[in-house]
Structure 1
Amino acid sequence: MKEMGRQALLRRVTIFLLLAGLLLPGLAAAHCDALDGPVVVEAKGALENQDVTPVLKWVRAADEEAIRAAFTQTLAVRQLSPAAKELADRYFFETLVRIHRAGEGAPYTGLKPAGAIAPVVARADRALQQGSVDDLAKAIAAHAEEGVRDYFQLAHEARQQANSSVAAGREFVEAYVTYVHYVEGIAKAVHEGPHHGQPAAPNAHQH
């Protein structure tokens, strides 16, 4: 029973993280591209330790040799001067992120500044580092429920006056469309699964 409860909790987290990406387009996309995102953070550690192994998991096996070559070149150049180190590191970060994104079938539009990661995604990373998803799951579930209730209330109130005038009817339609699209976003997240072609969470398609 504990395992089933754990899977249900993880499934809810996955669904609402997906919902965040669906309802806030562009925020989740900045995750892997950001200078404080997991890919670049791990790349910084790899350069300091002069060990490329930790970053290889971010690329496909077919791209491993390209990353190894870029890493070797970066290590050589960054020893020349502080300015060379900065440029070489940037080159490696861009190469790694570009190839990582290509492996996902996603476009590369350059590195994003630190702080560009959506708060919900940053919080998801922290939960993983801390080894507990409980607080994150509760916060996201509460936020999603609040959104459904708010949009429902607006649509419900507007519906009462929908036939009083054309203007009131249009206000209802606007509120109705917003409400339904929000709910549809949740359903879409449940049925389509995670971003980047990753497998869905256990039982994600069961009702």
Structure 2
Amino acid sequence: MKTSEIEAGTDNFKENSKRKRNLRIGLVPLFILSLLILSTNVTFAHCDTMDGPLIKDAMQAIGQNNVNYALKWVSSENETEIKNVFNLMMKVRVLSPEAKDIAEKYFFETLVRIHRSGEGVPFTGVKPHGTPIDEKILAADKSIEIGNLSPLKDMVAKDILPELTKRFDKVMSLKNFNVNNVLEGREYIEAYVQFFKFAEGEEEGHATAQHGGDGHTMAAGHAAHIPWVLSGLFFITTLLFGGLFLRKQ
């Protein structure tokens, strides 16, 4: 083989190696970007934490063996699923301490996932005890507990106080519902969520298209997953094209 051919082959090998190295370097920020998009969850609610009101109601449902404590957090269309999971959980949790932990976790996650979908927010798991909660949320909860807005009113703009007071009064008027009247419970949760959304600065509260009286918007729930689907497709496409390019080289 001539020296010129050897040198040409060596140059081609070096060039291909350089291209592959540059491609790998280029894929790194794309990979990181995909992970960042997938991990983003824009929400300030506390319904997905172990210290939040939803999980507290779920625990009460278990303690009282009454799923109605939990059903108010989901729409009527999702009642059957929650009831089935609850009944299964109650049967399994008595088998062993390990079974209890797994069964209850599954119930909590199912309940939170469906509730969050109804709010139009992606489910990212149930946050552990001690997860930091926004001060406004804590103040809003305290206001409902004591029956007046004093813990919250200094944290919000003065011009929204009239509307905030209106929403708070609605929450308080619905607070003492019969736990076994799930429709009344859902009315309370709808008012509760709209009050919190407004206190956090979201003018609309829930999305406008609602299931008759349920107050949970399934269309919004599906729409909330669009960024996750798109980012997932972007991530997969990046890997596929990168792999094909490397194979051709």
- Corresponding residue number in structure 1 for 2:206: 196
1:42 and 1:133, CA in 2 relative to 1: closer, same or farther beyond 3 A? same
Aligned with residue 111 of structure 1, among 121, 126, 137: 126
Highest Rg: 1 or 2? 2
Percentage of pairs with the same residue: 41
Aligned with residue 154 of structure 2, among 116, 138, 143: 138
Structure of higher RCO (CA pairs closer than 8 Å, 6+ residues apart):
1
Q: Distance in 2 between matches of 1:112 and 1:195?
A: 23
- Alpha carbons 1:27, 1:117 under 8 Å: kept: no
- Alpha carbons 2:142, 2:151 under 8 Å: kept: no
Number of residue-to-residue matches in the alignment: 128
Q: TM-score, normalised by structure 2?
A: 0.47
Q: Structure 2: which amino acid aligns with 1:102?
A: S
- Corresponding residue number in structure 2 for 1:33: 48
1:40 and 1:83, CA in 2 relative to 1: closer, same or farther beyond 3 A? same
- Alpha carbons 1:78, 1:85 under 8 Å: kept: yes
1:112 and 1:141, CA in 2 relative to 1: closer, same or farther beyond 3 A? same
Q: CA deviation at 1:27?
A: 5.4
Q: CA deviation at 1:42?
A: 0.7
Q: How does 1:1-207 map to 2 (within 5 A)?
A: 26=42, 28-29=44-45, 31-114=46-129, 115-141=131-157, 189=201, 193-197=203-207
Q: TM-score, normalised by structure 1?
A: 0.55
Structure 2 unaligned residues grouped into runs of 5+: 1-40, 159-197, 210-249
| Root-mean-square deviation over aligned CA pairs | 2.6
Q: Distance in 2 between matches of 1:198 and 1:75?
A: 36
SS of the residue corresponding to residue 111 of structure 1 reads: coil
- Corresponding residue number in structure 2 for 1:177: none
Q: Structure 1: which amino acid aligns with 2:147?
A: G
Structure 1 unaligned residues grouped into runs of 5+: 1-24, 143-185, 200-207
1:106 and 1:135, CA in 2 relative to 1: closer, same or farther beyond 3 A? closer
Runs of 4 or more above 6 Å deviation: none
Any idea what the Cα deviations from partners look like across 1:24-70, whole Å, max 9, x if unmatched?
x94514x1111111111110111011000111110011001100001
